[in-house]
Structures are given as C-alpha cells and as structure tokens.
C-alpha cells in the first residue's frame, strides 16, 4: 500500500491508481493535460519518499530533480509531496 502525505491530508492509493488520480480523488488541485508525461503540467515537488520513484517509460516533459509527474510515475511506500501548483 502506498501512503501519500501532503500539507492538506494523508491518503493511500488504491491498487493500480496513479498518483494523479489519487490526488484528484482526494480533492487536491492539480493541473494536468496529457496524463502520459509529455506536457509536464501535473508536476509536483517531491519532499521525500521511502522508496525510489520510477517511471514505466521515460517522460518527455522536462522536470527538475525534486519534481515528479504524478500522471505517470510509480510510487511505493510513503511519499511526501508539495501539491501546490508549480508555475510553468
């Protein structure tokens, strides 16, 4: 089970649920468009995580070292994120 911690709340991801879908399900405001790692509009800041974050395929969007794309990343364990919108 994956636990997600934000400044707003903590919640767990359902089986096979993306981080983006979990954020939207719990009422977090997250921009998104492509849902496939191309546009980068869903990027959030990763504060810390208990496991490495990986991607099933390399995203095309440019992201900083401390950013992740919740639409297509795979998370496990516990992850702390800053879900506030990042200006593009």
Sheet holding 78-82, edge to edge: 10-13, 2-5, 78-82, 44-49, 67-68
Q: What is the pLDDT of residues 30-72, one digit of tens each?
A: 999 999 999 999 999 999 999 999 999 999 999 999 999 999 9
Q: What is the pTM of this model?
A: 0.91
Q: How many of the other CB atoms lie within 10 Å of CB of 66?
A: 11
Q: What is the pLDDT of residues 9-26, one digit of tens each?
A: 999 999 999 999 999 999
Domain architecture of the chain: domains with CATH: 1-83 (3.10.20.30)
Q: Collect all residues with Cβ–Cβ distance below 8 Å to 43 and sequence separation of at least 6.
A: 61, 63, 67, 68, 69, 70, 86
């Amino acid at each position: 089970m994956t636990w997600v911690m934000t400044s707003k709340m903590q919640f767990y991801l359902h089986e096979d649920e993306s981080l983006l879908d979990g954020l939207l399900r719990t009422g977090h405001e997250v921009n998104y468009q492509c849902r496939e790692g191309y546009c980068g509009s869903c990027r959030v800041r990763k504060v810390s995580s208990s496991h490495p974050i990986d991607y099933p395929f390399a995203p095309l969007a440019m992201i900083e070292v401390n950013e992740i794309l919740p639409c297509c990343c795979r998370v496990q364990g516990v992850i702390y994120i800053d879900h506030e919108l990042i200006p593009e």
